[in-house]
Amino acid sequence: MKKIVSLLLALTLLPGLNVAALAADKTPTPAPPTEDRSGAPIEPPEKIESIVTLAPSVTEMVTALGHGDQIVACDTNSAALEGMDPDLPVFDMVAPDMEQLAGLEADLVLVSNLSLYDQEDPFQPLVDLGACVACVPDSDSLQGIEDDIAFVAALLGENEAGQELIDHMQADIDRIAAIGETIPEEDRKSVYFEISAAPYMYSFGDGVFLNEMLGLIGAENILADQEGWLSVEAETVAAADPDVILTSVNYIDDPVGEILSRDGWAGVTAVAEERVYPIDTNASSVPDQNVVKALEQMAQAVYPDYYKK
C-alpha cells in the first residue's frame, strides 16, 4: 500500500505532468435529451439500430450525421432524396399507417409537426410498444434549424459530428451575410419569392427562414410586412413592383417562362428586365443544413456583381 501511495506522489511531482488535467480530459458523454423539439418528454433508447424518418429535414440530418444506413422506412418526400434506398417502406407523413409502422419495430421514429396534424398523440401506440417517437417541428429560423441539428445529433450520440455540421452551416451563413452588409442602400433590391405558381400563388412574409435569408443577402422581401406563409394575389405583386423574382416551383415545365409571360406583369421591373431566377426547390423548402445551398443561389441571383460564382 505504501508503495502505491509513494508512486502516486512521485507522479504528481514529475515536471509537466498534471494529473488533474488528465482527469479533466476525460469529458463525460453528454446525456441524451429528455424532451423533443416540441417540448414533449421522450425516453431515448440506449442503443439505436433502426430509425424511421417521417420528414425530409430529419432524413437529411440523420444521413448527414452518418446514420443513413439505419433508416428502415421514410416518408414519400424523403424517398425522392438522392441516395435513398428505393426499396425502403414509404409512409404518408401526415397520416402514416400505424399498424405498418408498428410492424417495423423501429428503435427511433422521427416526425415533424405535420405528422401530428389534427391529432393529439397519434404515435402513442408506438411508444407503448417501446419505440422512442421524437418530434422535430419545422423551424422558422436559421438558429432553429441549427438547434434541430444539435437535437438529432444528441439523440444519435453524435454531438461532435452535429457541432461540425452546424459550424459548416454557420460559416457559410456568416460569409454570405458579411457581403450582404456591404451592399450600398442604393443597390439593394426588392424581391418576390414564389413557391407556388399561378393561379394558386404562394409565398411568405416575416417569421419564415426564407425571409431571414433574403435579409442576410441584403435584399428586401416585398411581403415582409406580413406574417408566415401566404396566399398571394397577382395584383399585390404587380403593385409592389419587385426588382427580382425568385421561384422554387418545380411542378410545371418552365416556371421562369410562365412568370415572364404572366398576364398583367409585363410592366413589373423584374419581368421587364428578365430578372426571374430558379432556386433549388429542396434546398429552399426543407429546413435543414442544406438551406445554405439555397442561400448561395439567392445571393448570386439577386446580386451577381457582389456574389461571384
Q: Which tens digits make up the pLDDT trace of 66-80?
A: 999 999 999 999 999
Rounded to an integer, what distance in angstroms lies between the CA atom of residue 236 and that of residue 222? 9
Q: What pTM value is reported for the model?
A: 0.88
The amino acid sitting at 41 is P
Q: What value does the mean pLDDT of the chain take? A: 90
pLDDT band at 2 (very low <50, low <70, confident <90, very high): very low
- Give the pLDDT score at 13: 43
- The predicted-structure confidence for 162-171, as pLDDT tens digits, reads as follows 999 999 999 9
Cα Rg for the chain, rounded, in angstroms?
24
Phi, psi values for residue 289, rounded to 5°: -60, -20
Which grid cell is 208?
A: 419564415
Question: What is the percentage of the chain residues whose pLDDT exceeds 90?
Answer: 81
C-alpha cell at 78: 424523403
- How many other β-carbons are positioned within 10 Å of the β-carbon of residue 121? 10
Q: Which residue ranges form the domains of the chain, and what is each CATH number?
A: 51-163 (3.40.50.1980), 184-302 (3.40.50.1980)
DSSP β-bridge partners for residue 246: 193, 277
Q: What's the mean pLDDT in 160-187?
A: 97
User: What average pLDDT score do residues 266-280 get?
Assistant: 98
Cis peptide before 199 (omega within 30 of 0): yes
pLDDT at position 218? 97
**Number of other residues whose CB lies within 10 A of the CB of residue 108:** 25
pLDDT tens by residue, 202-232: 999 999 999 999 999 999 999 999 999 999 9
pLDDT in tens, 29-56: 678 899 999 999 999 999 999 999 999 9
Q: Is the pLDDT of residue 27 over 60?
A: no
Say how far apart CA 273 and CA 267 lie, in whole Å.
Answer: 9
| Residue pair 116/40 in contact by the 8 Å Cβ criterion | no
